[in-house]
Amino acid sequence: MALEPFEVLYEADNPTAYKLPADLHHLYGALGFATRVVYSNFVASVDGVVTLGSKPSAGTIISGKYPADRFLMGLLRACADAVVIGAGTLRATPGHLWTPGHVYPDLATEFIALRSALGRTREPQLIVVTASGEIDASHPAIVKGALVLTTAEGARAIGSRLPKSCEVVAIGTGKHLDPGKAIAHLRDRRLNVLLTEGGPHLIGQLIEGGLLDEAFLTISPVIAGRKDDDKRLGMVEGVELLPNHGAWSGLSSVRRHGDYLFLRYRTPAPAGRA
Ligand SMILES: NC(=O)c1ccc[n+]([C@@H]2O[C@H](COP(=O)([O-])OP(=O)(O)OC[C@H]3O[C@@H](n4cnc5c(N)ncnc54)[C@H](OP(=O)(O)O)[C@@H]3O)[C@@H](O)[C@H]2O)c1
């Protein structure tokens, strides 16, 4: 059955709206980004859960594979020069490809048309961030090709294990790479419109560093629950923001589709509102 359009409940002025192909505009309405931007996309349960402990593909379970959410994932990927993920998300999502057409194949042609009109490559570049270098060389997204950002130690641990479709770049030394330097490296490669699909540890560092400009959040109409011994994370993990450094955000748009809510926020640096 064809997807019904999203209902726009609120939309702030968007001076950066792209000229979307008609089918995409019909479904979503206006969408566009600044020429240099980092934006995220997550799906959360009503009670704020985005991961399900050790269960793989948590986002798919939490969204209930809702077609409108998958469409928006595809559309947001279609707008991006690159999709940036942490190695935890790669490991937790076997079999996935971070391309627009993989998540919403029905409109794969329209996504490619949008990318072409925006002057983007046919598919966004996948970027994987790792410190340990524990990357499964047989994961289909790695086989397809990714830029792996790590430290000198991580690059040594990876060695020559990854397929030739991948490039491994060491940025600095130590236990973690500096997220600001990672983003600067991507800019040097003319990857300016960056989507991150997390996970919570990576996005926490981006927010803490004032590097995240916008956040898309789908609220799925499900209550996931938590048990003490089963760690289920919210959208941000590993950094403390409130009470002293809360990343107060501006609401850019609210859409509804069925029982799902689709929110878009502007996310200034925490220090900006502290
Ligand atoms: N609901 C949703 O929308 C959604 C979206 C995305 C992910 N998820 C879920 O989130 C879970 C994974 O979350 P997560 O927070 O554990 O994973 P994550 O943020 O994707 O990955 C964390 C890993 O990324 C690497 N990393 C992050 N920052 C780094 C830095 N500054 N320098 C070097 N490496 C860095 C490290 O990899 P190494 O361990 O290799 O060193 C780290 O362990 C999964 O269950 C996934 O399904 C849900």
Expressed in angstroms and rounded, the spacing between residue 114 Cα and the centre of ligand 1 is 29
pLDDT tens per residue across span 128-179 = 999 999 999 999 999 999 999 999 999 999 999 999 999 999 999 999 999 9
pLDDT tens per residue across span 89-140 = 999 999 999 999 999 999 999 999 999 999 999 999 999 999 999 999 999 9
**Residue 272 clears pLDDT 60, i.e. is over it:** no
| Nearest protein CA to atom 13 of ligand 1, as residue | 199
pLDDT at position 231: 86
**Residue 200 clears pLDDT 60, i.e. is over it:** yes
Expressed in angstroms and rounded, the spacing between residue 67 Cα and the centre of ligand 1 is 24
Expressed in angstroms and rounded, the spacing between residue 90 Cα and the centre of ligand 1 is 8
Which ligand 1 atom is at minimum distance from the Cα of 89? 20
Mean pLDDT for all residues in the chain: 95
* Nearest-angstrom CA–CA distance, 142 and 175: 23
- Provide the terminal-to-terminal Cα distance of the chain, rounded to the nearest Å: 47
pLDDT at position 44: 98
Q: Where are the beta strands (DSSP E) in the chain?
A: 7-11, 37-45, 82-86, 125-129, 147-150, 167-170, 193-196, 214-220, 250-257, 260-266
Residue 6 forms part of a structural domain: no
Expressed in angstroms and rounded, the spacing between residue 111 Cα and the centre of ligand 1 is 26
Residue 254 forms part of a structural domain: yes
Give the phi and the psi of residue 196 in degrees, each rounded to 5. Answer: -110, 130
pLDDT tens per residue across span 38-53 = 999 999 999 999 999 9
**Residue 64 clears pLDDT 90, i.e. is over it:** yes
pLDDT at position 273: 53
Residue 9 forms part of a structural domain: no
pLDDT tens per residue across span 227-258 = 887 789 999 999 999 999 888 999 999 999 99
Give the phi and the psi of residue 256 in degrees, each rounded to 5. Answer: -125, 145
Residues with CB under 6 A from ligand 1: 42-43, 50-51, 58-59, 62, 85-89, 92-93, 129-132, 134, 176-177, 179, 197-202, 205, 237
Which ligand 1 atom is at minimum distance from the Cα of 42? 3
Residue 153 forms part of a structural domain: yes
Residue 117 forms part of a structural domain: yes
Residue 229 forms part of a structural domain: no
For ligand 1, pick from 50, 72, 76 the residue to mutate: most ligand atoms within 8 Å of CB. 50
Expressed in angstroms and rounded, the spacing between residue 96 Cα and the centre of ligand 1 is 15
Query: Any idea what the CATH number is for the domain that residue 108 is in?
Result: 3.40.430.10
Residue 80 forms part of a structural domain: yes
* Nearest-angstrom CA–CA distance, 50 and 58: 7
**Residue 188 clears pLDDT 80, i.e. is over it:** yes
* Nearest-angstrom CA–CA distance, 149 and 87: 10
pLDDT at position 270: 63
Q: Do residues 160 and 170 lie in contact, with contact meaning Cβ atoms separated by under 8 Å?
A: no
- Both structure tokens of 133: 């270098």
Q: Which domain holds residue 33?
A: 18-223+247-263
For ligand 1, pick from 77, 158, 202 the residue to mutate: most ligand atoms within 8 Å of CB. 202
| Nearest protein CA to atom 35 of ligand 1, as residue | 130
pLDDT at position 274: 45
Residue 234 forms part of a structural domain: no
Q: Do residues 264 and 227 lie in contact, with contact meaning Cβ atoms separated by under 8 Å?
A: no
Expressed in angstroms and rounded, the spacing between residue 9 Cα and the centre of ligand 1 is 32
Expressed in angstroms and rounded, the spacing between residue 188 Cα and the centre of ligand 1 is 24
* Nearest-angstrom CA–CA distance, 14 and 251: 12
Q: Where are the alpha helices (DSSP H) in the chain?
A: 22-28, 58-63, 67-79, 87-92, 100-103, 108-117, 140-144, 152-158, 179-188, 200-208
| pLDDT level of residue 14 (50, 70, 90 thresholds) | confident
**Residue 15 clears pLDDT 70, i.e. is over it:** yes
> Total domain count for the chain?
1
Expressed in angstroms and rounded, the spacing between residue 58 Cα and the centre of ligand 1 is 12
